[in-house]
Amino acid sequence: MVALVFDEVGRRNLDLVRALYDKDRVDIAPPVVTLVAPFEEGTSTHELAQFVGVIVSAHQPFVLQMGNAERYFDGDEQLLQLTAGEGAEACQRLAAGLYRDVFPHHEPDQTAHSPAGRMAITVGRFTRESEADDAARELGEKSYFLVMSEVAILQSVGEDGGWDIVETYPLGSLAGGSS
């Protein structure tokens, strides 16, 4: 997967929310906003890293507002997501550039985002709809304003839903990536 990753302060703030509502995953996967849905790729990681780094270097850092908590059933469980407000257009432009120039053989997967196709981050998982509704009400009108300055390639690890960051790339940099 290719995703926006948060700086240390943003990650801590989102992990506090995830610790309340997504206890089982907070320690096995970083909070991210998915740009390119999980994929099987025949391209070597080194080549893929170079391609992604070039696209990311053409996009400047931006502020992303995450809020408007919504829940939906994904077929297995109730998910609670914060959706992108301000800055969503920058996310969409970056995702479109990656799909167009690096992953033209993959179809953009709207299910990687919110049910309405908006950029989102999952902050909670529930077995009952009423629990998800209660959590969405608790988050209410809270918003998080985050400076987005890095994109990462993530790799699935294990069967527990964990992800590791393989490589990161600064937005707006002409340099390649840094680990």
Q: Is the dihedral of CA 118, 33, 6, 76 positive or negative?
A: positive
Instruction: Give me the percent of the chain exceeding a pLDDT of 70.
Output: 89
Q: Tell me which residue of 147, 125, 150 sits closest to 136, measured CA to CA.
A: 125
Cα Rg of the chain, angstroms = 16
User: Torsion-angle region of residue 57: left (phi > 0), alpha (psi -120 to 50) or beta?
Assistant: alpha
Q: How confident is the model at residue 155 (pLDDT cuts 50, 70, 90)?
A: confident
Q: Is the dihedral of CA 95, 99, 101, 102 positive or negative?
A: positive
pLDDT of residue 178: 47
Predicted TM-score (pTM) of this structure: 0.85
Tell me: pLDDT of 111 over 80: no
The domains located in the chain, with CATH, are 2-170 (3.90.1140.10)
- How confident is the model over 47-82, as pLDDT tens digits? 888 889 999 999 999 999 999 999 988 888 999 999
